Amino acid sequence: MSPVATVAAGKPPACPHCKQALDLSGTPQSVDAAGLRKAIEASPVPVVVEFSTQKSDPVRHSAFMFTEVGRAHAGQALLLQLNLDDDGDAVGRYNIRARPTFVVFASGAERARQLGLPLPEDFTKWLDRQLEPIKQAEAAHG
């Protein structure tokens, strides 16, 4: 059974392990490598991850953009940020070739990635294109 199918109608999605409600407010949450792995494997909703560092101006701008676009997509996905300064192994594990890199995961698998810092309106369109088929699949199975 897909993790998406485990979401009960009318209830907020919850972590299958700890049973706590997931924060789908659209505000990105910092996560470490272990937390990211668990979220990707178990989240009943899409997971959108920003892989970045905290050392450059473009990356600081990406965090602001990710927060703004994320809030516009509240309720649709779990937004996470992994600081590559804290987990250098993630570069190889997730094949990160640019900073920032945004990756959409659903049902435990990578669905799409965006390299570099897009304009907010371009990122919004990209994210909409990624989330729409996932929502349609959920509706077909729900």
Q: For tokens 């979401």, what's the residue?
A: 7
CB 131, CB 73: distance < 8 Å: yes
Domain-embedded: residue 89: yes
User: How high is the pLDDT of residue 93?
Assistant: 95
> Are 27 and 71 in contact, with CB atoms under 8 Å apart?
yes
pLDDT at 10 over 70: no
Residue 125 lies in a domain: yes
- Give the CATH number, domain containing residue 49: 3.40.30.10
Q: Is residue 51, in this structure, part of any structural domain at all? A: yes
Integer CA distances (angstroms), 137 to 132, 133, 142, in order: 9, 6, 8
Query: H or E segment at 137?
Result: helix 120-141
Residue 72 lies in a domain: yes
How many domains would you assign to the chain? Answer: 1
**Mean pLDDT to the nearest integer, 15-36:** 85
Residue 3 included in any domain = no
Q: Give the pLDDT band of residue 1 (cuts 50, 70, 90).
A: very low
**Residue 135 or 76, more confident:** 76
Does a structural domain hold residue 1?
no
pTM equals: 0.86
Residue 105 belongs to some domain of the structure: yes
Residue 20: is its pLDDT beyond 50?
A: yes
Q: Is residue 25 part of a domain?
A: yes
**Domain hosting residue 92, numbered range:** 8-136
Neighbouring CB atoms inside 10 A of 88's CB total 11
pLDDT at 5 over 50: no
Q: Do 28 and 67 form a contact (C-beta atoms < 8 A)? A: yes
